[in-house]
Amino acid sequence: MLQFQKDAALDGVPFGVLEVAYPEKALWREDAFQTMVTARLNALKERFADYDRKAVFGKNVYFRFFKKFKKTYPVLMQLESILLKGRPFPSGNPITAIPFLAELETQQLSGTHDVDQVQGCVRLFAGTEKAPFPGMRGEEVHTYPGDFCARDDGGIIFSMIAGADDRTCVRESSTHVFYPVFGVAGQPASEITAVLDQLERDVKTLAPDAEICRQLL
């Protein structure tokens, strides 16, 4: 199981991890998974038929966290792209579709990383400077003072504000991954646990034989 350490500066900030070792793709139940996704997306569109940004995100703790950094909360953009712009749900890789669906439904922030690319222990820390690292799209990004970040022995692997790094972001060939579920200061840990529960159920729908470990820090 992947090892995590959390700096004292992040006391009171909940963080969850679902680590998943997927079996070979021949054992996946992709048809059942896609049927589930379609049904859930239809329910989502019905739920937000009268979508109002202020009503949905006005008190959202993640929206407020990103606003402090003068950034738009990415889950807001994802949800509005589906609801208002008619963009299709990402269909390329079911492994990354799982947290994307959870983000749409819960408006909580998640992600995906390749465990096999992680070097040593992952240390969670609060950013104190604009430390650069290679972003998942190939560009240089950086952490922010007050940001929720992580590094391993090879360098920074994510910033809550800037996103995932290039080295540990998931590829099409990745089958051993971890899904981080981010929290903010003062947020109940039960909200993180609820997302971990949802992720685990959806993993089992896709791959019943997947090996799963979870941590709440």
Once rounded to an integer, what is the mean pLDDT over residues 159-168? 98
pLDDT of 1 over the 90 cut: yes
Coil/strand/helix, residue 200: helix
Once rounded to an integer, what is the mean pLDDT over residues 90-105? 96
Once rounded to an integer, what is the mean pLDDT over residues 85-113? 96
Which pLDDT value is given to residue 149? 98
For residue range 24-81, list pLDDT tens digits in order.
999 999 999 999 999 999 999 999 999 999 999 999 999 999 999 999 999 999 999 9
How far apart are alpha carbons 166 and 158 in whole angstroms? 9
Number of H helices, E strands in the chain: 6, 11
Tell me the whole-structure pTM to 2 decimals.
0.97
Strands (E) across the chain are located at: 4-6, 15-21, 113-114, 122-126, 132-134, 140-142, 148-152, 155-159, 163-164, 176-182, 211-216
CATH architecture of the region 4-216 = 3-Layer(bba) Sandwich (3.50)
Q: What letters, b where the CB count within 10 A reaches 16 and e where it falls short, cover 119-130?
A: eeebbbbbbeee
Average pLDDT, the chain: 97
Once rounded to an integer, what is the mean pLDDT over residues 11-26? 98
For residue range 60-73, list pLDDT tens digits in order.
999 999 999 999 99
N-terminal to C-terminal alpha carbon distance within the chain: 14
pLDDT of 91 over the 90 cut: no
Other beta carbons within 10 angstroms of residue 98's beta carbon come to: 26
Which pLDDT value is given to residue 155? 98
Sign of the alpha-carbon torsion through 185, 190, 161, 107 = negative
Once rounded to an integer, what is the mean pLDDT over residues 87-105? 96
Percent of the chain with pLDDT over 70: 100
pLDDT of 96 over the 90 cut: yes
